[in-house]
Amino acid sequence: MDPLFDRINVRDLLSGHDLSDPSTPLSTPDLRLIISRLESHSLHIKSKVRSYLLSHREDFASLFSQCNDAVFKTSEISDNVSGILSLISDRPIDVEIRKLVDEIGRTTKEAREKREMLGLLKIIVGICERLEGARSAFSDGRLRFSAEEVKELKKALRIGDEEEGEPIVYGLLRKQWADLFDEMQDLFSKFMENAVRFEQDSRTIRVKYKLCVDKMDGIELHTVMEAMDVAGILDYSLAKAADLIIKHAITPAVSYGSPAMFAEDVNQGSEGISEAVLKILPSQDCKIVDVDGDAIYARVIQVIKFIFKHICFENGSWIRSFGRLTWPRISDIIISKFLSKVVPEDASKLVDFQKIVKCTSEFEFSLKEMMFLSASDGKDYRLSSFSENVEVHFAFRKKTEVLGKARNLLLQCDFSVPQDYTSKGPLLKNDGMAINSSNQVVDLIFSSKRCVVSKAASQLMELVHQTLQDVCLSSARVAWEFYHAVRDAILLYEAVIPVKLERQLDGINQVAILMYNDCLFLSQEILGLAFEYRTDFPDSIKEHAVFADMAPRFHLMAEEILQRQIQIVIFNLREVIDGADGFQNTHQMQQFESAKFSIDQAVFILEKVHIIWESLLRPSTYKRSMCMVLESVFSRITKDILLLDDLAAEETLQLQRLIHMMLDNLSSLLKSLISAFDSNEKSEEDTSRPIDDLIPSLRKIRKLGELLDMPLKSITSAWESGELMSCGFTILELKDFIRAIFADSTLRKECIWRIENVTL
């Protein structure tokens, strides 16, 4: 059949040379020829198909027969399925099967739960029986068996690993186990108290091998130790015994200077050793000094060997447990009572301390061999660590000593002025005065002057210089600690003195001025420390040692103290002047006496300040501070007088008298200021300015005294000449003053007009 389906090429049905070109169009005859030939070809194909069917008739018949059988079987299957479906629809067997399956599942689940419950009950009953057995064995003295049971029951009950949703009975069982465990702990503690005792009268530690507690007689100490180890309560039960041995044996053994001695004894019975005794004997020589530490360490090892042999029975695990329990305290005792006391006080003795370092290392090695210390835990070697870091401890000790000295001298200083100090002039560095012999008269590094300071400041700086000299001679680690000691010692002044002198700083006294000088002196000394010592410091701290940062805080403290004193003086003077009641009605005797009393009090305060400040302050500081105070006083008095609105003739004379009296009484004070100007250095501020320029109100109050009895025309002429304006008077003050003194008249109006219209 394949040739029938071959592809037919239409052009093959034509003939002619003009058909070689595919683009040549076909003519009508050509098309007719093609149709004719296609019809012929179609008939040929039909003939071949018919021949093929006839030749394969049997094959096609067999194929059609098979198809008929398949259709029949399909119909039969369909009938069977229909029958089954009809049966199912008549009787719902699937529902019955489902019910049966559910019932089987429930029954199986109930059976499984009952089996699990039965298993749980068996476990609970077993645990209860074991708890009762352990309790019974414990009461009968079978301590090891009871301890093993408690240990296994702890795992079975998952103590410490509880989960939510567990049966309540587990909580009850755990409570029973905890009660039993507590009873065991209490009983074992009693056993150890009975086993290890200290007799105060004979100073003896006794270790009994046969124990009797709560009707349990003849229990071996070794058995008790085994049971405690199995139960995991060795540390708890040994705690009291450890405290007893540390208190009565280890501490006396380590006592530096008067150590105790020890003697061992063993009492043998018919069944072996019944008791071991450690006698604590006082030292025969009360002046023993174990500088090398060999004897001290030997006594401690003797005590620990006694424990190792007679309490721990040479069991490595037990002595290790005892070591974990006691070594932190023992090492602290050795450090505090021995090692810290033999730390060298001088850097030159650090080499001798190496002997103690060596015997300390040997001591810890001996403890490691006895398994008292762990071979792998580096934290146990605390003594070696301390002794090997002796430089740090030496530096810390010296630092503590320096700070202690600084604190004591600051607290003990009374801030008094030297008795032989009588200077009233400036203290130059080359003045050659007898006062120079006092160590409280110090040089100011950045000034040509000297000043008087407290013993606290001078001694503090002596201590600082001594410590810095040690810094230059010490190793880097020690030098670093000394450097911090110096800084802390200086800062102690800032922390201690203001609190100590708080009450004195609120009054007018020499203490505050001494403290001002102290702060000024310390600030300049601090600035000079780096220049003086830095080149000799160890290289490792040269770039890190800084002092200059502390200088500004002391300079600021000095200024705050001085300004506080100035304000206190000004406040007291204002209170005194307030008592004059504005200098009103001084023509009345009572008012005059009141004003005079206020002036006298002000003069008294100023003289007191003059005596204190001139003798203690530098001339420039004294001049500046006193001028501020005087300016405040004079300006206040001048202001009060100029505010008076009506003055009688007698009243003006009394006011003039008060002014002259005040200025006369302050003449010595004003002369001291002039001498301070004359003696001041040329580089100091205001040296060329007269006193009236530094106290503007002084010129004004003097002129006011003159104006009080000056004729009106003279007053007017003085204003026109500019004299009054140069003294600080204003046109308003002058007009009010004229109106207060002179009655209203044509002359007064004319003078006021002249004053208002003058051109200055």
> Interior CA angle at 453 toward 425 and 500, to 5°?
135
Start-to-end CA distance of the chain, whole Å, equals 147
- Per-residue model confidence (pLDDT) at position 639: 92
Q: Following CA atoms 333, 334, 336, 340 in sequence, which dihedral angle do they give, to the nearest 10 degrees?
A: -170
Q: What's the CA gap between 460 and 525, in Å, rounded?
A: 11
Strand partners, 199: 204
Q: What's the CA gap between 20 and 76, in Å, rounded?
A: 66
Encoding tokens for residue 752?
Answer: 């006021």
- Per-residue model confidence (pLDDT) at position 114: 78
- Per-residue model confidence (pLDDT) at position 335: 87
* Distances, alpha carbon 67 to alpha carbons 53, 140, 350, in Å: 19, 98, 119
3-class state of residue 724 by DSSP: helix
Q: HSE, CB side, 13 Å, CA atoms: give it for residue 295.
A: 16
Q: What's the CA gap between 521 and 442, in Å, rounded?
A: 8
- Residue 177 burial by Cβ neighbours in a 10 Å radius (0-12, 13-18, 19+): buried
pLDDT < 70 regions, the chain:
1-26, 85, 87-94, 120, 160, 162-167, 256-258, 270, 283-292, 347-351, 419-438, 448, 676-689, 760
Q: What's the CA gap between 460 and 458, in Å, rounded?
A: 5
Q: Is the C-alpha dihedral spanning 96, 102, 106, 112 positive or negative?
A: positive
Q: What's the CA gap between 651 and 641, in Å, rounded?
A: 11
Strand partners, 277: 206, 265
Q: What's the CA gap between 327 and 250, in Å, rounded?
A: 11
Q: What's the CA gap between 329 and 623, in Å, rounded?
A: 65
- Per-residue model confidence (pLDDT) at position 425: 43
Strand partners, 216: 213
Are 60 and 53 a contacting pair, CB within 8 Å?
yes
H/E element, 375: none
Are 627 and 617 a contacting pair, CB within 8 Å?
no
H/E element, 727: none
Q: What's the CA gap between 455 and 416, in Å, rounded?
A: 8
Q: What's the CA gap between 590 and 596, in Å, rounded?
A: 10
Q: What's the CA gap between 660 and 663, in Å, rounded?
A: 5
Are 719 and 747 a contacting pair, CB within 8 Å?
no
Q: What's the CA gap between 1 and 47, in Å, rounded?
A: 12
Residue from 249, 261, 242 nearest 205 by CA? 249
Q: What's the CA gap between 319 and 312, in Å, rounded?
A: 6
Backbone φ and ψ of 695, nearest 5°: -125, 80
Are 149 and 134 a contacting pair, CB within 8 Å?
yes
H/E element, 206: strand 204-208
- Per-residue model confidence (pLDDT) at position 382: 85
Residue from 572, 575, 659, 634 nearest 609 by CA? 572
Backbone φ and ψ of 123, nearest 5°: -65, -45
Q: What's the CA gap between 476 and 311, in Å, rounded?
A: 48
Q: What's the CA gap between 355 and 351, in Å, rounded?
A: 8
Q: What's the CA gap between 278 and 264, in Å, rounded?
A: 5
Residue from 329, 353, 326 nearest 341 by CA? 353
The DSSP secondary structure of 668-725, one letter per residue, reads HHHHHHHHHHHHS-TTSTTTTS-HHHHSHHHHHHHHHHHHTT--HHHHHHHHHTTHHH
Length of the chain as a residue count = 760
- Per-residue model confidence (pLDDT) at position 682: 45
Angle between helix 455-473 and 390-412 (nearest 10): 170
